[in-house]
Structure 1
Amino acid sequence: MDRSLYEKRKNLICELVNDKFYVPMKEKELAAFMQVRPEEREELKTILNELLMEGRLQISKRGKYSKGEEGGGLVGTFISHPKGFGFVEIEGRSEDLYIPEGGVNGAFHQDQVQVELLKGQGGRRQEARIVKILSHGLTKVVGTYQKSKSFGFVIPDLEKISTDIYIPAEGSKGAVTGHKVVVELTDYGDDKHKPEGRITEILGHVNDPGVDILSIVKGYDLPVEFEEKLLNQAERVGKPVSEADMAGRRDLRSLQMVTIDGEDAKDLDDAVSLTREGENYCLGVHIADVSNYVQENSALDREALNRGTSVYLVDRVIPMLPHTLSNGICSLNQGEDRLALSCLMKVNKKGEVVSYEIAETVICVDRRMSYTAVRKILEEGDPELIQEYEELVPMFQDMQELAAILRKKRRQRGSIDFDFPESKIILDQKGNPVSIEPYERNVATDLIEDFMLLANETVAQHFYWMEVPFLYRTHETPDTEKIEKLATFIHNFGYHIKIKTSDHEVHPKEIQKLLASIEGTEEEALIARLALRSMKQAKYSVECTGHFGLACACYCHFTSPIRRYPDLQIHRIIKEQLRGRLMEKRIDHYKEILPEVARQTSRLERRADEAERETDKLKKAQYMKHHIGETLEGIISGITAWGIYVELPNTVEGMIHVARLTGDYYYYKEETFEMVGRDTGRCFKLGQRLKVFVDSVDMVSKSVDFLLAEDDMEEEEQG
């Protein structure tokens, strides 16, 4: 490192941010402004971190650097760990900061905190200490009540909260031991005192049917019921389509079109049509015009933004909009006139969109089709269904043909297709899991996905080149460390991916090649899932930075305004542009509100995903309680210093604790991600098949404990 150049750059940044005309920039923007070469980006990051520690710089929640002020510095969200340490997530920063136990400084899970970076720490992750708690993120906690003589306490469901919550007798609300309760925190405690709270709601006894899922719903603060005034507003606006509603719209009611969804779907927000024009395909993707009924800044709109998305739990759906709209006037029901936004694309034999139009339309769906029926027509040639839908069969065949062309084109550019079976948990009437089955993916589900992807991409490109405020769906390049771990894992199966030596990045085509090479193999589901875990999480952004997974420059969410707020938001922008109303005042309006809409909807999407995963984890644990004592075969899906994770074919994951690996002293070899026996040399590797004994299930942590099956141990000894 050239120290003089280093100091020169450091001083230059200070001069830059102190300039009265300076506008806060992100790291990437600073690098471009200062003409920093790609190989010098790490040095720039070091300079910025030093200036932050010295207080000469501060960074906003959105990752923008500005002049340091007294009390300034890094601000983020504290994520606690049951063992006492934690992490701080900072928006705009790719890696979380590690907070050692001695640096937590009394912070509680999800607190907004100010941190100070620590110099000279060991390990790869940057360490910091919390210097100030700015605000508390959690105000309520769900847990199980335990009654004592003159007081009680609540054991939080959230594992990240490692301490019980003290409940004085007057704050118990009459709860008894075993009740699931909601606690309002009145004191967050410190090093000497436990947090304190009062019970505001009793959900029921821990063993009552449905209380388990309800606890998760409350724990994630998911809004369930709609207020009466919202239901009344939905009733008022949800009137049948009138002639006045159709005025000025293109009438596509004579165009043959269908919806294709699951048998139990009720909110049908997309329809498709397809005709031929010579060698070209005329594809129409018609999306319910929800924005016609949910006006900006109305009570319905504010509630939809507050929810962000519909949430699909294992036993229920929590909708973004009241059923009067989502299952009524906004649902593209068969034989009923509906208002829509249509993306009409002419696609050639190469899968290229040669022309397109986005229009406000009125449509009428001919038939409500199911994935199963379309699959049977196209894959099985079912004679009864072919006769029943005779007039639609040629269109379905053309759709299958076009979908194959589009898929091939996407794969050629490197788009990643995670085609692995996700699990579907089947419950009985009391909410008990009776089986875990893979979701069916077939020609019908694929063609709808192909058409929606094309419409989303076409709409995003259109508004990107118009240079107007918009909401994009972005997906960043994966972190180097995660890709290297994936490369090590797949090496155990004989596969490999090419990582660029210049910047240690991977091209999406390499992931796609990997998925193609594992197709049809026993390890396909596991490797595909681990490849997905190595990716970054997609998010909403006002900046069009591309989508790594789809290998495309511009992408957005346009096709699901009933269940996703970003789609509803961009529908408004689209309609204003089509009507010639997207003038300076409205552009300034969207520039002002969209960054916050992107941030909030990304956060709410993560909340929904976490709640969905938590309910799946709960039901999987309940299912495995009935299989304690059985010997099953699985694949090693993860190895850590504390144990070996094994995934079963039904996607249930459990752990063999390192202390329960008998016959040797085992240690974790980090550089190769292996568990190795000190004396015997026995080695457990990622991807290795193992027979495991289901030992126990912990319903509090929703975890499954395995032991190595005896016959597997005997085979090793004989070997």
Structure 2
Amino acid sequence: MSKKRKSSRHVKSHSSKRLSQSNKNDEKYSQVENMALGFFYTADAPLSFAQLYSNFSQARYSEDDIRAALDTLLQAGLIVKDSKNHYKLHKNTSLYEGTLTLHPKGFGFVSVTKSPVNRPLKRDPFISPGQMGEAHHGDTVLIRVFRIRADDRPESSVVKVLVPGTNRIGGIFRTEGRNRLVYPDDRRFPFTVRIKDADGLQPKNGDAVIAQFDRATGAANFLPGKIIEILGAADDVDSQMRLVIEQFNLPWQFSDEIIAETAGLDESFMPEQDREDLRTTNHITIDGESAQDFDDAICVIKTRNGFRLFVSIADVSHFVAPGSAIDREAYNRGTSVYFPGRVIPMLPEKLSNNLCSLVPGEDRFTVSAILDFDRLGTLLAKRFSRSIICSRQRFTYTTVQKILIDKDPVLRKEHKAFLTGLKWAEELATALQDRRKKRGSIDFNLVEAEFTLAKSGKIESISRAERNFAHQIIEEFMLAANEAVAEFFTRQQIPAIYRVHEPPELIKAEEFFDFIKTLGLPVAPFVNTPAWFAGVLEKCKETKYEYIINNLLLRSMQQAQYSANNVGHFGLAATDYTHFTSPIRRYPDLIVHRQLLQLLQKSPPRKLSLTEAAEFLSARERTAVMAERDMNDRLKIGYMQHRIGETFEAIISGVTENALYVEIQDMCISGSIPAELLGDDYFLYDKKNYRLFGEISAKTYQIGDLVQVTVVDVDILSKKILFALAPTFMQ
């Protein structure tokens, strides 16, 4: 790295130091002011100076400190004095309650849950490390907003911890000399736990453990605590899963009440009078090899005008009554969480893998969408019913691909009875896909990792997951059913829960377009429509930029979510869309089933705040996605720590001033290459073209380029992989 770069960093370090020293006294008084505000906020009545002073008995502040703080608060208009010389908060004081989310770098944001009626905030308040006080990640805090930035981001300080968050963490146990330490696995807890008591537990050095800490005592960086559970070797899949459960606070065990309620469920499948008998239709399921819960079955029949599609979904609502213990827990979980080889189910196993699972050869209760299409995939008619089916066959995606596309003679002979139905399914799915593309639906080509687990619980291999046309068949049919149900709700003009996807923010969309132009791809002038984005993906197919463009486009999009307000689905170019097809693993689908059946049976609607439910379930979904992503990253880290020194082909997926970010596409494993490891040169950052440019060598490294990289280091605690360019590639 050049001397020039080092020098600029050196100056920055000294300027930060001078700033912290100059604000030392201000920070002191800021703390005592905040403590006083906290006392006023929680007091039932105005406080005299003597009452306030007694509240400070445990704090090391003098009487002069407290009087000075009161004067400052009075002058700022944050508190007022009444006729009896008692103090209380001013009615317009900008104090807010919320949950603190800490960043590993020490700053944080607060998700506000209670605010002054006349002062709502547009964005989550930011808290710098110096304004954090004694708050920890996950605490419910009272904050004081002291500035609103030009971008509408409030800056604030923690006034008081109202409700402490967790006092337990997952972490890695280490012995260092005489010290027995637990380093938090979740880097948002910026301290180390010094173990004083293990209650007879004897973890091995490097084991994953659960520790309990005492936040009331100890230094800022070291808190005393004890080990309450040994999880086992840190690189074991189950150990890592438990660490993820702790980090994201995932409910993963069912209570005795739920177990008892599940055991008492009626296991008979005697069709009621109003349940349509579809057991004579050739319903089949098509899922992955490792699937255990089968919540959707399909059947396609050719008609005079085109096709009739049956999409029959497990009738979870038959077994899970609103307000029951099972129902409350399912709502609280919101969704099943899937890890490689493991799952945290939304419903107890007796339901998810048995009573609600559409296993072959067994009668099962379902809710069916029966859709008629012409030969071009245009929907002609639809109806819905409570039904009962008996799945004829369980197929896997691989088997269907070999039958339909590869024309495997052995499998075609073995499944001769299903060949015609599968052929019709292929024809209808092709028509539906073509029609969806014509309206502008965006089809991402995203790569996902597939993990192979050994019996020992270790990762045996990581490869690129393969998708085939059998996946597309099921996807098209599920999309069609979801749209049909949503359209039915819209036409009936009843409150419903939708799956919505808003258009991308214009700034992000234009930034994406600017990037596309730097690649020289012949794309149409930018229009913020699904069809334009779909056209870009079509143009980049089978080019070296396909992977990068798909991923960058995904990042520029807004997240899909649940909503009671139907604003359409931008990515699918659909005016009406919901989630109907997976009630075993998604609670919103169960809500949709109940709404649909209420319409069909003309029963009074259930009292439920759809807006509140949509917001809560969207949040639960985001948590599940983050947990699944985090688990995958952990397993990749554990796998790569045994491959230090090996060389792989990778693609440059990102560029910053100080590093290249690369991904091994065959394994979907990402890491970084610091600029100083790019060779003996000074590299300039060309932000416009997403590249680093060698000042001496003129060597360029641009996003989308393929490079050979060598694994240099793997940091398990920070979950980072460090690469260097392979020596042969640099020559």
**TM-score, normalized by length of structure 1?**
0.81
Please give the residue correspondences for 1:644-659 in structure 2 after superposition, counting only pairs within 5 Å. Answer: 644-650=660-666, 651-659=668-676
1:512 and 2:534 equivalent? yes
Alignment of structure 1 residues 14-93 onto 2, 5 Å: 70-71=92-93, 77-88=99-110
Distance (Å, rounded) in 2 between the aligned partners of 1:208 and 1:349: 51
Query: What displacement does 1:474 show?
Result: 1.5
Deviation at 1:230, TM superposition (A): 2.3
1:510 to 1:55, Cα distance in 2 relative to 1, 3 A: farther
Structure-to-structure mapping, 1:565-580, within 5 angstroms: 565-580=587-602
Uncovered stretches (5+) of structure 2, i.e. residues with no partner: 1-75, 79-89, 114-119
- Cα distance, 1:340–1:610 mapped onto 2, change above 3 Å: same
- 1:129 partnered with 2:156: yes
Map 1:549-564 onto structure 2 (within 5 A): 549-564=571-586
Residue identity opposite 2:155 in structure 1: A
User: Is 1:318 aligned with 2:335?
Assistant: no
Query: Greater shift after overlay, 209-218 or 295-304?
Result: 209-218
Contact 1:487 1:496 in 2 (8 A): no
Instruction: Give 1:710 deviation, angstroms.
Output: 2.3
> Is 1:402 the counterpart of 2:402 in the alignment?
no
Flag the 1:469–1:382 CA change in 2: closer, same or farther, 3 A: same
The equivalent of 1:347 in structure 2 is 373
Q: In terms of mean alpha carbon deviation, does 250-259 or 429-438 score higher?
A: 429-438
Letter in 2 for 1:295: A
CA spacing shift, 1:428–1:451, aligned 2, 3 Å:
same
Matched to 2:435, the amino acid is K
Closer, same or farther: CA 477–183 of 1 in aligned 2, 3 Å: farther
Name the structure 2 match of 1:674: 691
What letter is aligned with 2:145?
Answer: E
> Would the alpha carbon gap of residues 176 and 364 (structure 1) be closer, same or farther in structure 2, given more than 3 Å must change?
closer
Distance in 2 separating the partners of 1:672 and 1:137: 44
Change (3 A) 1:273 1:205: closer
Q: Deviations over 1:200-253 (max 9, x none)?
A: 3332343667323332233323333323442332232151202xx422111111
Is the partner of 2:264 in helix, strand or coil?
A: helix
Aligned partner of 2:252 among 217, 224, 228: 224
1: CA distance between counterparts of 2:658 and 2:224?
Answer: 32
Q: Does 1:621 align with 2:637?
A: yes
**Structure-1 residue corresponding to 2:386:** 360
How far apart are residue 286 of structure 1 and its match?
Answer: 0.5
Residue of structure 2 aligned with 1:376, choices 375, 397, 402: 402
Please identify, of 152-161 and 644-653, the stretch whose mean Cα deviation from structure 2 is larger: 152-161
The 8 Å contact of residues 172 and 199 in structure 1, kept in 2 or not, is answered as no
Computed over aligned residues only, the root mean square deviation of the Cα atoms, in angstroms, reads 3.1
Match of residue 118 from structure 1: 147
State whether residues 125 and 145 of structure 2, in contact with CA within 8 Å, keep that contact through their aligned partners in structure 1.
no
Code of the aligned partner of 2:455 = Q
State the SS of the aligned residue for 2:245.
helix
Q: Report if the CA contact (8 A) 2:337-2:345 is conserved.
A: yes
Partner of 1:144 in structure 2?
Answer: 172
Q: Which has the larger radius of gyration?
A: 2
Bigger Cα displacement from structure 2, 132-141 vs 544-553: 132-141
Paired position in structure 2 for 1:426: 452
Residue 176 of structure 1 deviates from its aligned partner by 6.2
Q: Distance in 2 between matches of 1:483 and 1:110?
A: 33
Cα separation, partners in 2 of 1:193 and 1:433, compared to 1, 3 Å:
closer
Match of 1:204 in 2: 232
> Shift of residue 496 of structure 1?
6.5
Task: Find out whether 1:308 has 2:334 as its counterpart.
Answer: yes
The runs of 5 or more residues in structure 1 that have no matched partner are: 1-53, 57-67, 715-719
For 1:366, the aligned partner's letter is R
* SS of equivalent to 2:559: coil
Asked if 1:713 is matched to 2:730, the reply is: yes
Q: How far, CA to CA, are the matches of 1:677 and 1:188 in structure 2? A: 53
1:460 aligned to 471, 486, 499, which one? 486
| Aligned 8 A contact 1:163 1:194 in 2 | yes
What is the alpha-carbon distance in structure 2 between the residues aligned to residue 140 and residue 518 of structure 1?
A: 48
Q: 1:697 aligns to what SS in structure 2?
A: strand
Task: Give the 3-state SS of the residue equivalent to 1:573 in structure 2.
Answer: helix
Cα deviations by residue, 1:369-424 (Å, 9 ceiling, x for unpaired): 22222212211222232233223222211111111111111111221112333110
- Amino acid of the residue matched to residue 239 of structure 2? V
Percentage identity across paired residues of the two chains = 36
How far has the Cα of 1:432 moved from its partner?
2.4
Q: Distance in 2 between matches of 1:288 and 1:555?
A: 19
- The equivalent of 1:664 in structure 2 is 681
Matched, 1:477 2:514: no
Q: Cα 1:279–1:682, aligned 2, differ >3 Å: closer, same or farther?
A: same
Post-superposition Cα deviations, 1:139-190, rounded to whole Å, max 9, x if no partner, equal 4321123457887542111123333245544889665653422234542789
State how far apart, in whole Å, the 2-side matches of 1:178 and 1:333 are: 43
Specify the alignment match of 1:236 in structure 2: 264
Partner of 2:707: 690
- Cα deviation digits, residues 644-701 of structure 1 (max 9, x gap): 1111122111101234333233354445443344555544322122222221111222
Tell me, yes or no, if the aligned pair for 2:544 and 2:704 is still in contact at 8 Å.
no
Question: 1:299 deviation in Å?
Answer: 1.2
Distance 1:100 1:677, change over 3 A: farther
Q: TM-score with structure 2 length normalisation?
A: 0.80
Deviation at 1:608, TM superposition (A): 1.7
> In structure 1, how many angstroms separate the alpha carbons of the residues matched to 2:683 and 2:199?
48
Aligned to 1:525: 547
Equivalent residue letter for 1:81 = H
What is the CA distance between 1:344 and its match in structure 2?
0.9
Q: CA deviation at 1:522?
A: 4.2
2 CA distance for matches of 1:459 and 1:352?
16
Partner in structure 1 of residue 30 of structure 2? none
Q: Rate the CA distance shift 1:188–1:531 in 2: closer, same or farther, 3 A.
A: farther
Which of 530, 535, 538 is the equivalent residue of 2:560? Answer: 538
Asked if 1:261 corresponds to 2:287, the answer is yes
Shift of 1:446: 0.4
AA at the equivalent of 1:566: P
> What secondary structure, in the 3-state scheme, does the structure 1 residue paired with 2:417 have?
coil
Deviations 1:285-309 (A, max 9, x none): 1111011011111111112122221
- Are the counterparts in 1 of residues 135 and 158 from structure 2 also a CA contact under 8 Å? no
Aligned with 1:327: secondary structure?
A: helix
Partner of 1:601, secondary structure, is helix
- Distance of 2:698 and 2:190 partners within structure 1: 37
The CA deviation at 1:343 is 0.7
CA spacing shift, 1:363–1:402, aligned 2, 3 Å:
same
Question: Distance between the aligned counterparts of 2:145 and 2:382, measured in 1?
Answer: 52
Counterpart contact for 1:416–1:511, Cα < 8 Å: yes
Matched AA of 2:656: T
CA distance in 2, matches of 1:117, 1:684: 43
